[in-house]
Structure 1
Amino acid sequence: MVKATRRGEPYCVTVSNGRFELLADTHKNGTGGAAGMRPHELLESALAACVCISIEMAAARAGVSVPNPIVEVNVERSDEATRFRVAVRCEAPLSDAARVIVRAAVPQSPVAQTLGRAVQVELGEVVADT
């Protein structure tokens, strides 16, 4: 579970999983935007981190070298669809086997699998914290 708590700056929140904390905010009408990543950047971050870890795990299982992958994710939103564009760059040329590992790891990463399914957002109860 992750919890977001409002901070003093406009549109700024602390996000915590109980062990680690980060700041997130957004910029709207000249207000906010200087304290942390925007919420959609956090979504991109989750996918990028998961893909990078998935590549490392798949390469280790296959005994293949994938030299220091760097994963970049960009989310494109429209009324019709949301598309996550993933780019993987490595410090050195990849072997054919490594290229196969990378191509398979991207759509098979757990976050990519989650984002590829129908998603519902449900609101639980809203209570006063006394």
Structure 2
Amino acid sequence: MPNEICYTPIGFVENEFETWTPVDVLRNTTMRIVLNPDVVDGLLGMAPGMYIVVLFHFHQIDEVRLQLHPRDDPEQPLRGVFVTRTQYRPNPIGMTVAQVVAVEGNVITVRGLDALNRTPVLDIKPFVSDFDTAVDFF
């Protein structure tokens, strides 16, 4: 098993949020994913209204918290990192389902993404309910 895995971002997030912002504010804001020109052909078939899974790198995080209170709320019970959606992970990878608002050239406009400005985007996949929900699967 390799000790290190390296990825090259396929683009970045563009919005007005430079520092920590409540997730609800981010998810209710329309923002852009600007793709590198060499991956634009991968947008074939993407259309407004689709839901996509965006995988990204938490580029401003430099600490790991293996146990924490969800959303930093001490009223919430202490939980392990792997049962939360926190950004303080051993591998700072984020994942959000967002809705496509528009696709123009190398830019995807979305709603529902919870990433800061200049966040590197690692991959984009379609949200497919047959694969991405556990209802009747187990």
The structure in which a higher percent of residues are helix is 1
Higher percent of residues as strand: 2
Indicate the structure whose relative CO is greater, using CA pairs within 8 Å and at least 6 residues apart: 2
Q: After TM superposition, is the score higher than 0.5?
A: no
* Higher Cα radius of gyration: 1
Q: TM-score range by the shorter chain?
A: under 0.3
